[in-house]
Amino acid sequence: MGASSLRRAVFLDRDGVINRMLYNPDFGLLDSPQNTDQFDLVPGAPKAIRLINEMGFVCVVVSNQPGIAKGKYTPAILESVTDKMHRLLAENGARLDGVYYCLHHPEALLEEYRVTCDCRKPRPGLILRAAADMGIDLGASFMVGDGLTDILAGKTAGCTTILLGNRKCEMCQMMDEFGIRPDVLADDIVQCAELIGSSL
């Protein structure tokens, strides 16, 4: 396949980018939704994804989901959460072209998922697999996330990286320790989509 026939993509992290994180009082941490009731979109997500669709990008979720490996929920629950994500977005005219999850964890409770894989971000395996499946030009694509691991995975895959967060970039000091900085900072996912549009 020649470079000209390759498509451009926007890769999106899921938790904290498309759906809200939840406060888990047991651990005093923000956590991923554990069931469909807890799954709720970030307010700007449908609009942003619609813009990404309209600009002609392939829009693909790349997300670590070790909850099955940790015994927190079942594969069927993850599937129904994914179905809800597609449905809520479709109700608002937005479309995801692919959803790639890493289900592994090096310290998984369930042995079948207990591996050091090539797809758990910060490794780039999910992005590379999606690119191979869908014919994506990674150098002309974007990786969007709210965490260090998203930026690392995107950089390793050769994408332009966009970190969602405030302009002060609370995470940038930590990133400096890893010698890494996102290419672009965006306040939220809508501004992120607009920045991608303005670069075309």
Write out the residues near Mg ion by the rule CB under 5 A: 13, 15-16, 146-147
Query: Of Mg ion, Zn ion, none, which one does residue 66 interact with (CB within 5 to 8 Å by kind)?
Result: none
Cα-Cα end-to-end distance for the chain: 23
**119 contributes a contact to Zn ion by CB under 5 A:** yes
Query: Of Mg ion, Zn ion, none, which one does residue 10 interact with (CB within 5 to 8 Å by kind)?
Result: none
Query: Of Mg ion, Zn ion, none, which one does residue 13 interact with (CB within 5 to 8 Å by kind)?
Result: Mg ion
The residue within the footprint of Zn ion, chosen from 84, 104, 105, 121 (CB under 5 A), is: 104
Active site residue 31: no
**102 contributes a contact to Zn ion by CB under 5 A:** yes
CB of 160 to Mg ion, least distance (A): 18
Q: What are φ and ψ of residue 7, in 5° steps?
A: -100, 160
Rounded to the nearest angstrom, the gap between the alpha carbon of residue 197 and the centroid of all alpha carbons in its chain is 19
Rounded to the nearest angstrom, the gap between the alpha carbon of residue 86 and the centroid of all alpha carbons in its chain is 14
Other CB atoms closer than 10 Å to residue 56's CB: what's the count? 9
**14 contributes a contact to Zn ion by CB under 5 A:** no
Which token pair is 108?
A: 């998984």
Which token pair is 187?
A: 């306040």
Query: Of Zn ion, Mg ion, none, which one does residue 104 interact with (CB within 5 to 8 Å by kind)?
Result: Zn ion
Helix runs in 8-147, H state only: 45-54, 75-91, 125-134
Active site residue 15: yes
The residue within the footprint of Zn ion, chosen from 55, 117, 169, 180 (CB under 5 A), is: 117
- Which lies closer to Mg ion via its Cβ, residue 62 or residue 196? 62
Query: Of Zn ion, Mg ion, none, which one does residue 59 interact with (CB within 5 to 8 Å by kind)?
Result: none
**155 contributes a contact to Zn ion by CB under 5 A:** no
The residues, ordered by sequence, that sit 6+ positions from 15 with a Cβ below 8 Å of its Cβ are 21, 32, 33, 63
Q: For residue 62, list its beta bridge partners.
A: 100
- Which lies closer to Mg ion via its Cβ, residue 16 or residue 67? 16
Nearest residue to the partner Mg ion, using Cβ: 16
Other CB atoms closer than 10 Å to residue 73's CB: what's the count? 17
Sequence letter at residue 18: I
**78 contributes a contact to Zn ion by CB under 5 A:** no
Rounded to the nearest angstrom, the gap between the alpha carbon of residue 148 and the centroid of all alpha carbons in its chain is 12
Query: Which residues are near Zn ion by CB under 5 A?
Result: 102, 104, 117, 119-120
Catalytic positions are 13, 15
